[in-house]
Amino acid sequence: KDVKTHLLDYLRTYDGWYRKKEKVNIFLYEKLFDEAIELIEKDKYILEIDMLKKIIPYNPEWVIKKAIPLAESIMDAGKAQYYEQAVDWLTQARNAYYQANNVQEWKNYSQQLTKLHSRKYKLMGLLKPILN
C-alpha cells in the first residue's frame, strides 16, 4: 500500500469526535463522496456550505434534500439574524437543481417561497438574486 491509501484506511477507522469536519473535507478532496456523505448523515452538525458545493456535481439530489430543510427551519422560524445563512443554503439548493436539470422544479419551489414569505422584507431582499 502507498502512504495515501494507508492514511485513508486509517482515517476511515479513526472515530475522534473533534475531527469529523476535517475527515469529511479530506474525503471530499479525495473525491470519496459517498464516505463524506455517510459521515454527514451520521452527524448533521458537521455540514457546511463548502461541503455542499463540492457534492453538487456528484449528488445534486442529496444536496437539495439537505439544504432546503436547513434553510426552511430558519425562514419558517422568522430568525431574521440568520436569513443570510438560509439564503446560502438555498443558493446551494438552486445550484443543485440546475445541476440535476430540474430548473422548473426550482422555479416552482422559489414561487412557493415567495408566496409563503412575502411579508419578510429582509428575507425577500436577500432572496431576490437567486429566485430567478
Give tens-digit pLDDT for 47-102: 999 999 999 999 999 999 999 999 999 999 999 999 999 999 999 999 999 999 99
Mean pLDDT of the chain: 93
- DSSP per residue over 53-87, as a string? HHHTTT-HHHHHHHHHHHHHHHHHTT-GGGHHHHH
Average pLDDT over residues 103-108: 97
| pLDDT at residue number 17 | 64
CA-closest candidate to residue 35, choices 57, 55, 60: 55
| pLDDT at residue number 36 | 96
Those residues with Cβ within 8 angstroms of residue 16's Cβ, 6 or more apart along the chain or in another chain = none
- Counting residues of the chain whose pLDDT is more than 90, the rounded percentage is 81
Q: How many CA atoms lie within 13 A of 41 on its CB side?
A: 9
Residue 110: all three cell numbers together: 422559489
Range from 11-15, 77-81, 101-105 carrying the lowest mean pLDDT: 11-15
pTM value is 0.89
Is residue 25's pLDDT more than 80? yes
